[in-house]
């Protein structure tokens, strides 16, 4: 699968270190050394986003980090307890789901999804304060 043009532009223009791979029907976008907010157990981790067939009309669902993230105080982050294997690696699954209609086809893409992930990271990290 070729990424939609806005997604390819997003990755290129931001200079994000990434790889794209197929995993069955899923297109995997792996963002290396993603910078994390303070309040988590590590400063950077690899971020995996899996795009289902039908994307970008259909939204991504969940995302994955390696290594696994916890709060800096050791606390577990809600709905991240499951680990899965993708692309030959073990990943911590962040179980996060949109409400119907929340994803706007034709507008949303990797840019907005990554912004949402960052916001959720900040929200979780702040919960340890």
Partner 1 sequence: MTEAHPGGKKPKEFHIKIDRVEYHVVEEELTGAQLRQLPHPPIGPDRDLFEVIPGQADRKIDDTYVVEIVNGKRFFTAPAHINPGHEVADHT
Q: What distance in Å separates the CA atoms of residue 52 and residue 122, rounded to the nearest whole number? A: 26
Shortest Cβ distance from residue 19 to partner 1 (Å)? 21
Q: Which two tokens stand for residue 88?
A: 């030959």
Contact call for residue 43 and partner 1 (CB under 8 A): no
What count of residues does the chain have? 129
Task: Write out the two tokens for 120.
Answer: 């959720």
Q: Which token pair is 2?
A: 């070729």
CB of 14 to partner 1, least distance (A): 9
CB of 79 to partner 1, least distance (A): 4
CB 19 within 8 Å of CB 31 = no
Residues between 89 and 108 with contacts to partner 1, criterion CB under 8 A: 95-99, 102-103, 107-108
Residues that bind partner 1 (CB under 8 A): 6, 13, 62, 78-79, 81-82, 84, 95-99, 102-103, 107-108, 111-113, 115-116, 118-120
């Amino acid at each position: 699968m070729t990424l939609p043009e806005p997604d390819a532009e997003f990755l290129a223009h931001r200079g994000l270190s990434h790889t794209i791979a197929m995993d069955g029907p899923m297109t995997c976008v792996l963002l290396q050394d993603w910078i994390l907010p303070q309040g988590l157990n590590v400063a950077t981790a690899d971020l995996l986003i899996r795009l289902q067939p039908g994307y970008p009309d259909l939204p991504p669902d969940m995302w994955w980090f390696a290594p696994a993230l916890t709060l800096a105080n050791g606390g577990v982050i809600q709905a991240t307890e499951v680990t899965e294997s993708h692309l030959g690696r073990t990943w911590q699954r962040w179980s996060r789901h949109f409400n119907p209609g929340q994803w706007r086809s034709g507008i949303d893409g990797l840019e907005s999804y990554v912004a949402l992930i960052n916001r959720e990271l900040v929200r979780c990290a702040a919960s340890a304060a």
